[in-house]
Amino acid sequence: MDAGSVTWVMVSAALVIFMTPGLALFYGGMVRAKNALNMLLMNFYCLGIVPLVWVVIGYTLATSGTSPVIGNFDFFGLKGIIVGQDGGEQLLFVFFWAAFAAITPALIAGAVADRIKFVAWVIFIPLWSVLVFSPIWYWIYGKNAAGELIGWLGERGSLDFAGGTVIHVNAGIAALAAVLVLGKRRGWPGEAMPPHSLPLVLAGAGILWFGWFGFNAGSAGAANAQAVQAFMNTFLAAAAAMLGWLIVEKIRDNHATTLGAASGIVAGLVAITPAAGYVGGMAGMAIGFIAGVICAFAVSAKFKFGFDDSLDVVGIHFVGGLTGSLLIGLFADPSGFGELGTFDAGLFFGGGWGLLGEQALANLAAMVWSFVLTFAILKVLDAFIGIRVSEDEEKQGLDTTLHIETAYNFGELSSSGRSV
Amino acid sequence: MKLVTAIIKPFKLDDVKDALKEAGVVGMTVQEVQGFGRQGGHTETYRGAEYKVDFVPKVKLEAVVEDGDAERVADVIADSARTDKIGDGKVWITDVLRIVRIRTGEVNEDAI
């Protein structure tokens, strides 16, 4: 691996690490002030626990093996990964992907906002990372010792450049399962639960947009042509999706909103994630715009069907990820990538329907595994410890009840001295 | 001694304050408050979902004045706060039993 590529992937890893704090602000601003710290901590907790679990066991189960469905224990506890032997290449990707592993379950926090016990979240996250995230990662990206794709979906030719299926469809459908186990917030949907700080939401969306350049362009795994294309597409899709969402709002609701802009940016980033290194710039722009429009409508589904996906993880991550992943089946175009263009072409670029079918299969498989396992894990946790806070805690807010903190201490009357 | 209390639109505060100063009122207290009257609340839209917000932001202004000034001051507030649109607010006058200026100990009219 050349020095430029090592450098780029290291920088990308740091960018992706920054996304989880960005997500924390994006979500944290969207909840009511009484639950803001709980939301921030659910996200930051993922950044603490998941990379540790990934390094010890998640990585080896997700990346390397001989079976089509799950990896082996060859790299358990970083065994055999010696920087002096390969220039650090393998350890670099252990860490780069740890950042992906961290943000994936953090996405689910938006669905369970305001009502899940923190201790239940603390136990759920590492279990989910090992039992749901690692297997699905392996199906798409798993390789054998010779470096050939061996996971049953990847081997068939499914494409997922940076995790549209593995991360967004996966976390999005898990979010749906989670809210079905957890139930809706008291008062939802009748009671208004407006975002307490849209400036925080916008700041979070900006950090996500910035970090996503590492997420997508870093996923080329090298400083190469595919990375540059992914870099451009990441920008174009987010910008087009923001405009798409705002146009829907202006026409449907008569007002363009800041929350709509932030939501559109994220929807576009989600949708381009699976496609970033497989499509040209105009296709990247189209994928973003289409996702922005579709997700602007999709977030209303929860009212129709009555599930309290509080911050629209299903409407943005599941729907956006699925949209982008399926659109690869139309827009994938290996012709522009030179020697890197070893993937199948989509329908619009002479590839027929085959790739679209593979994309549909991969997403269906990820949806079934993620939904069933997430539902089961939370049902078991609920039976043993109960996953939902008490009515009083929910009404008073989780910050003062679960974390004995307050997000905003304005004025000087609130503290009456240190208790000894 | 009378207490003149007014609920006004927040963006009219500067106009009201200037008018009161010009009318000789030497002090006042303001608070940001929320409430509704006949105007009702307003609606806000988040990701396409419309919510009704019952309590709208207003400013509550209070000034203590001499008996003979109270009605004139109330009229000054009403005139300067008026936009002729719904939600302009209200002004009312109440009796004040005793006033003490904390620094000097002066009472009642001397303390206004």
- Predicted pLDDT at A253: 93
The closest of A103, A118, A168 to A316, measured between CA atoms, is A168
- Predicted pLDDT at A418: 73
Q: Which of A194, A296, A297 sits opposite B46 (nearest CB)?
A: A194
Residues 6+ apart with CB under 8 A from B53: A192, A194, B41, B42, B43, B44
Q: Write down the domain spans for chain B.
A: 2-111
Tens-digit pLDDT profile for residues A117-167: 999 999 999 999 999 999 999 999 999 989 999 999 999 999 999 999 999
The shortest C-alpha distance from B79 to chain A (Å) reads 33
With an 8 Å Cβ cutoff, is A300 touching chain B? Answer: yes
Q: If DSSP codes are grouped into helix, strand and coil, which group holds residue B79?
A: helix
**Average pLDDT of chain A, as a whole number:** 96
- Predicted pLDDT at A410: 80
**Of A312 and A192, the one with more pLDDT:** A312
Tens-digit pLDDT profile for residues A85-96: 999 999 999 999
Contact at CB, B45 and A296, closer than 8 angstroms: no
Q: Is the peptide bond before B57 cis (omega within 30 degrees of 0)?
A: no
Model confidence at A414: pLDDT above 60: no
Confidence class for position B50, pLDDT limits 50, 70, 90: confident
Q: Write down the domain spans for chain A.
A: 3-402
CB-based contacts of A70-74 (< 8 A; 24+ apart in sequence):
A70/A134, A70/A135, A70/A138, A71/A134, A71/A138, A71/A142
**Of B39 and A91, the one with more pLDDT:** A91
Count interface pairs A-B at CB distance under 8 A. Answer: 33
Tens-digit pLDDT profile for residues A244-265: 999 999 999 999 999 999 999 9
Cβ(A13)–Cβ(A99) below 8 Å = yes
d(CA A201, CA A196): 9
The shortest C-alpha distance from B82 to chain A (Å) reads 28
With an 8 Å Cβ cutoff, is A304 touching chain B? Answer: no
- Predicted pLDDT at B59: 96
Contact at CB, A253 and B45, closer than 8 angstroms: yes
Sheet containing strand B89-95, edge to edge, reads: B29-35, B56-65, B2-8, B89-95
d(CA A289, CA A292): 5
The closest of A231, A222, A312 to A267, measured between CA atoms, is A312
Please give the ipTM for the structure prediction.
Answer: 0.79
d(CA B11, CA B22): 19
Mean pLDDT of A308-327: 97
The closest of A255, A61, A42, A143 to B49, measured between CA atoms, is A255
pTM, full prediction: 0.91
User: Half-sphere exposure of A230 toward its Cβ, with a 13 Å CA cutoff?
Assistant: 29
Contact at CB, B50 and A253, closer than 8 angstroms: yes
Taking CA–CA distances from B51, the nearest residue in chain A reads A192
Taking CA–CA distances from A264, the nearest residue in chain B reads B47
**Which residues 37-76 of B have a C-beta within 8 angstroms of A?**
44-53
The shortest C-alpha distance from A253 to chain B (Å) reads 7
Mean pLDDT of A15-43: 98
Q: If DSSP codes are grouped into helix, strand and coil, which group holds residue B7?
A: strand
d(CA A10, CA A221): 10
Distances (CA, A) of A127 to A61, A130, A140, A141, A181: 13, 5, 20, 20, 16
* Fold classification of B2-111 (topology level): Alpha-Beta Plaits (3.30.70)
Burial class (CB in 10 A: 0-12, 13-18, 19+), A150: buried
d(CA A181, CA B37): 42
The shortest C-alpha distance from B46 to chain A (Å) reads 7
> Using a CB-CB distance cutoff of 8 angstroms, which residues of chain A are in contact with residue B49?
189, 300, 303
- Residue B52 in tokens: 């009704």
- Predicted pLDDT at A73: 95
Contact at CB, B51 and A194, closer than 8 angstroms: yes
> Using a CB-CB distance cutoff of 8 angstroms, which residues of chain B are in contact with residue A249?
45, 48
Residue percentage of chain A with pLDDT more than 70: 98
Taking CA–CA distances from A253, the nearest residue in chain B reads B48
Tens-digit pLDDT profile for residues A264-317: 999 999 999 999 999 999 999 999 999 999 999 999 999 999 999 999 999 999
The closest of A217, A399, A173, A213 to A307, measured between CA atoms, is A173
Contact at CB, B45 and A255, closer than 8 angstroms: yes
- Predicted pLDDT at A191: 87
- Predicted pLDDT at A413: 63
- Predicted pLDDT at A93: 97
Distance between the two ends of chain B, CA-based, in angstroms?
9
- Residue A246 CB neighbour total at 10 angstroms: 20
Confidence class for position B53, pLDDT limits 50, 70, 90: confident
Instruction: Compute chain A's Rg from CA coordinates.
Output: 21
**What crossing angle do the helices spanning A281-298 and A319-331 adopt, rounded to 10°?**
150
- Predicted pLDDT at A114: 97
Cβ(A19)–Cβ(A212) below 8 Å = yes
d(CA A202, CA A299): 18
The shortest C-alpha distance from B43 to chain A (Å) reads 10
User: Half-sphere exposure of A304 toward its Cβ, with a 13 Å CA cutoff?
Assistant: 7
Cβ(B85)–Cβ(B95) below 8 Å = no
- Predicted pLDDT at B41: 82
Contact at CB, B48 and A259, closer than 8 angstroms: no
Q: Which of A81-90, A98-107, A404-413 has the lowest mean pLDDT?
A: A404-413
Residues 6+ apart with CB under 8 A from A373: A128, A131, A132
Model confidence at A172: pLDDT above 90: yes
Taking CA–CA distances from A250, the nearest residue in chain B reads B48
- Residue A60 in tokens: 């080896």
Tell me yes or no: is domain A3-402 CATH 1.10.3430.10. Answer: yes
Confidence class for position A416, pLDDT limits 50, 70, 90: low
Taking CA–CA distances from B47, the nearest residue in chain A reads A260
Alpha-carbon torsion (B102, B108, B109, B112), positive or negative: positive
d(CA A272, CA A324): 6
